[in-house]
Amino acid sequence: MTTVSPSLEVERKTPFWKRLGRVPWTWRITIGYLTVMLFIPIIAMFLKASTEPPTRFWAIATSDIALATYNVTFVTALFAAFLNGIFGTLIAWVLVRYDFPLKRLIDATVDLPFALPTSVAGLTLATVYSNNGWLGSLLAPLGIKVSFTRTGVAVAMIFISLPFIVRTVQPVLQEMEQEIEEAAWCLGASQWQTFWKVILPPLFPTILTGVALGFSRAVGEYGSTVIISSNTPYQDLIAPVLIFQRLEQYDYSGATVIGIVLLSISLVLLLAINFLQAWARRYDT
């Protein structure tokens, strides 16, 4: 027979509203803020989408133009995140392991996409990569067109998602002890073997986390992509722009349905990010 402590028995008999009154104010403020700024808008979005019958909801979510925008959005964002996973890791490695002139300036410049308005970024990229731009004029003779194409969408996504990979990998590299690498070299391992078997295993989960964060950011990008792309259906039209077009047509339910699809995928990505972060903690001990 189990006995219940007197304090626990008193707690059980205490009315719920009195127990709620003993909740710290920090918890109350946190829950209230999250409710107003996060939970209520999400619930409202789902309620708005639920006004559509299931058959109508499915027809909107899987229409030809919607599927085409999913393809452009997610495939291009995945490509941008994968590319940044490689070069972002390389940039983080150089910033951590080497000292060179203007290092602080370059390190600060990595955060520029965070501070720069996305519309300004889109305008700048569209100008630079146009046929008459600094970089576009060099690519045009090769038959490569960037601005107002799907390639331009990829460039914009790469630009705005790069800091996520660099800033995720950089702190982990700073905490890694170089003595482990030197020990591997003393044991006869080459630089490539040291990187593959000593450095990459604890770093790989962090790289995946940065890639997932960059991918999520690229999926939700609107300001820069809407300027650098032609927004042509079945070519370079992305899902956030399709939502805006539906709103311009006063098709609020249709826009909400597309938004629910993006929101659902984003939630799955957040779960994956949390899993990757938990995986990375195995190397903290």
Q: What is the mean pLDDT of the chain?
A: 84
pLDDT, residue 263, reads: 84
pLDDT for 107-163, tens place per residue?
999 999 988 888 899 999 999 999 899 999 999 888 899 999 999 999 999 999 999
What percentage of the chain carries pLDDT values higher than 90?
39
Q: What are the pLDDT digits (tens) for 208-247?
A: 888 888 988 899 889 899 999 999 999 999 999 999 999 8
Per-residue model confidence as pLDDT tens digits over 67-121: 999 999 999 998 999 999 999 999 999 999 888 898 899 999 999 998 888 889 9
Per-residue confidence band for 193, with pLDDT thresholds at 50, 70 and 90: confident
**Confidence (pLDDT) at 220:** 86
Of 15 and 187, the one with more pLDDT? 187
pLDDT band at residue 26 using 50, 70 and 90 as cut-offs = confident
Which residues are CB-contacts of 59 (< 8 A; sequence separation ≥ 6)? none
pLDDT in tens, 46-67: 888 888 888 998 999 999 999 9
Over range 269-279, report the average pLDDT: 74
Confidence of residue 266 (pLDDT cuts 50, 70, 90): confident
CB 279 within 8 A of CB 203: no
3-state secondary structure of 120: helix
Q: Assign 17 a pLDDT band (cuts: 50, 70, 90).
A: low
Report the distance separating Cα 229 and Cα 140, nearest Å: 17
**pLDDT grade for 1, boundaries at 50, 70 and 90:** very low
Contacts of 50 (CB under 8 A, 6+ apart): none
Q: Quick one: how many helices (H) and strands (E) in the chain?
A: 18, 0
> 9: exposed, middle or buried (C-beta count within 10 Å: 0-12, 13-18, 19+)?
exposed
The helix/strand/coil state of 99 is coil
The helix-helix angle for 200-219 and 76-97 (nearest 10°) equals: 130
